[in-house]
Chains A and B, each alone.
Chain A
Amino acid sequence: MKVLLIEDDLTIANFIKKGLKEAGFTVDHASDGIDGLHLALGECYDVGIVDLMLPKLDGLSIIERMRERKINMPVIILSAKRSIDDRVKGLQHGGDDYLTKPFSFSELLARLQALLRRSTYVVEASTLTVHDLTIDLLARTVIRSGKKIDLQPKEFALLEYLMRNERHIVSKTMIMERVWNYNFDPQTNIVEARISKLREKIDKGFDDPLIHTIRGLGYVLKKPGD
């Protein structure tokens, strides 16, 4: 997997580069807008990470010009601007996700992987299966080891999100954004309560728990031994 990183702050760029290399990615780095655009237009990447405030050419313009040339690689926007207006503007200009600085590397990695999976879906499966748990997206049913489990609509949506990201950590913010469409993190730990309720239904009474908490990072759904 090849990542294009356009970021002028060298400390942050090195921190991202190091992390991504450890996670098995190849990273090309440009520290200004013009260099970044040249790389984006000349090479082929699986995903781009683009800072908004760049010397010579700003991030939004880079994305716009890429989209004009029909380069459709998914792009995560990095920005110190965190207002709703800025976020909306970023997504309208062709960004696929928006992450405000400062951010944790695990959050960036999780979002990167989610984007990659989304862009590589080919055929939409109607069922998802992890270990002995199967959900039917059309019939909205959940079956574990042959036993039917009743879920409320939002619980189902949460489980679906976890299963689509099998083996990958999803952060609380990502869950709030994707499942509830809330672009902020309420102080009370809503996600935690929600997950523990889901656990009661999915994992309780079964030998192997599927939903795991990764302290400080988020949650992951995986089969035993993974």
Chain B
Amino acid sequence: MFQITAFCAAYWLINAVLYHDVDEDLREDIREFKMLYNAGAIHRVQHEIQREMMTDDQSKVFFRLLDSHGNILFNSDLSHWPGLVTDSKVIQQLISVADSVTQSIEISGHEYATRVIYGVIAPGTILHIGESLEEQVEVMEVLLVVFSVMFVLVVPLASFVGWLMARQAVQGIEEVSQTAANIESGQLDQRVSVKARGEEVQKLANTFNAMLDRIRDLMLEMREMTDNIAHDLRSPLARIRAISEGALSSHMSITEHQVAASDTIEECDRLLQMINATLDVAEAEAGTASTQNEAINLSKLVNDACELFEPVAEQKEITLLCRVTADCRIDGNIQYLQRMLANLLDNALKYNASGGQVRVELVCTEKNITMTVSDTGIGIPQSDQIRIFERFFRCDQSRSQHGCGMGLSFARAVARSHGGEISVTSQPGVGSTFTVMLPFVK
């Protein structure tokens, strides 16, 4: 439908342009003869007409000079134009209103229409010129044929190619949507195949797959986390239940009851600590928009932390070394940062042996801030290194060690909420180094 309209419009436009050109030619002729008449009276005009007729095809052009009553004063050879008549209405019109009038007429014996002009070249003298539209009509006929052929051949072809291309694109999108539908029904491992297709569709497929990978990782982490939480929460609950049941059923002394009560409190506190730690990580993760950001002297914060942990290190006979670039400042949440460093120091001391060393370093450049905490402790197996920042992950699979495996998750959440990242390098038996990179914002 669109193509038909487009062809009609093009045809009509070309037609209009051709006819406009003919009219312009005719008007130009009238102007020329008017000037000739003014310059040298009627015989100059007659002479010019005769000269024109020598070069032009007499079957295609005619000239007539009329007076104001329509009587012929002079004419070119009209043997090819036997049916030519004078339109008296036009003569009337010319006398009263117009300068020139154009019209299309059919003349018997002529296959094609003729375009004629009546123009006043002097008072009482009208020039009547006619020009066959043969050429124009022929051009339009050829055009019509060309257009028709195009319409019949090209349009279906173009439509077919367009349809093919669209189908390919849509197929890609359809595959993405099909994969999405499959995932909705639980098949999280489905991926969109990335074939050579349109660039955009391929990009969509890639993005979609990357998103799916991220979702799967999150799901796995979440699943494991839920298992771990369930285990970690269940154990203290089981102990509380056992203690309370024991206190109820047997004949305990007052002292034994007191011990049971204080054990219960201890277990409650453990539960509480775990719940709080979980909430803290969630809060820190959501905490980019926290209202608690302030200008912090990070150098002082690190020095304070070293000072704070010094006695603990001393007690465990561990050397605590602190090297800090002076006057390093950052906008951030002081409580979070204190706690991140405390967690790292805590681990560095906890998993270290007497005679070991813990080294804290803060290096500030114009671009970023690097905080490293390295120890000479037990180290982390290669396989666990990427997982230690996950919530509730503990290298010790028996989960008997104290602590709830949230310290590093919290550290990562804090580093990220400050626009940075935390990483680890470690060698079992040699030690670990945790590096926090923070962007320097000023």
Contacts and interface: CB of A to CB of B under 8 A. Distances in A.
A183 B342 CA distance: 12
Interface residues of A, number: 23
Contact of A190 (B290, B308, B335): B308
B308 A102 contact: no
A226 interface: no
Given A82-B279, A196-B315, A190 B309 contact: yes
B352 to A, nearest CB: 11
A193 B292 contact: no
A11 interface: no
Nearest to A153: B307
B88 interface: no
A180 B339 contact: no
B272 A190 contact: no
B292 A88 contact: yes
B213 to A, nearest CB: 32
Contacts of B312: 188-190, 193
A196 B311 contact: yes
Nearest to A89: B291
A131 interface: no
B292 A188 contact: no
A88 B334 CA distance: 13
A187 B272 CA distance: 13
A85 B346 contact: no
Interface of B: 262, 265, 268, 272, 276, 279, 283, 290-292, 304, 307-309, 311-312, 314-315, 333, 335, 338-339, 342-343, 345-346, 349-350, 402-403, 407
A205 interface: no
Nearest to B266: A216
Nearest to A87: B335
Contacts, number: 63
A194 B311 CA distance: 6
Nearest to A179: B308
A193 B311 contact: yes
Given A102-B268, A102-B272, A188 B335 contact: no
Interface of A: 82-85, 88, 102, 104, 152, 154, 180, 182-184, 186-190, 193-194, 196-197, 216
Contacts of B338: 182, 184
Contact of B314 (A84, A186, A187, A197): A197
Contact of B308 (A83, A180, A187, A216): A180
Contact of B292 (A84, A154, A197): A84
Contacts of A102: 268, 272
A187 B262 CA distance: 20
A132 to B, nearest CB: 25
Contacts of B339: 182, 184, 186
Contact of A85 (B262, B291, B349): B291
B276 A82 contact: yes
Nearest to B271: A102
Contacts of B311: 190, 193-194, 196-197
A84 B343 CA distance: 18
* Interchain residue pairs A-B with the least CB separation, the first 3: A193-B311, A193-B312, A186-B342
A84 B335 contact: yes
A82 B333 CA distance: 16
29 contacts: A82-B279, A83-B279, A83-B283, A84-B283, A84-B290, A85-B290, A85-B291, A104-B265, A152-B307, A180-B308, A182-B335, A184-B338, A186-B342, A186-B343, A187-B346, A187-B403, A188-B312, A188-B346, A189-B312, A190-B309, A190-B311, A193-B311, A193-B312, A193-B315, A194-B308, A194-B311, A196-B315, A197-B314, A216-B265
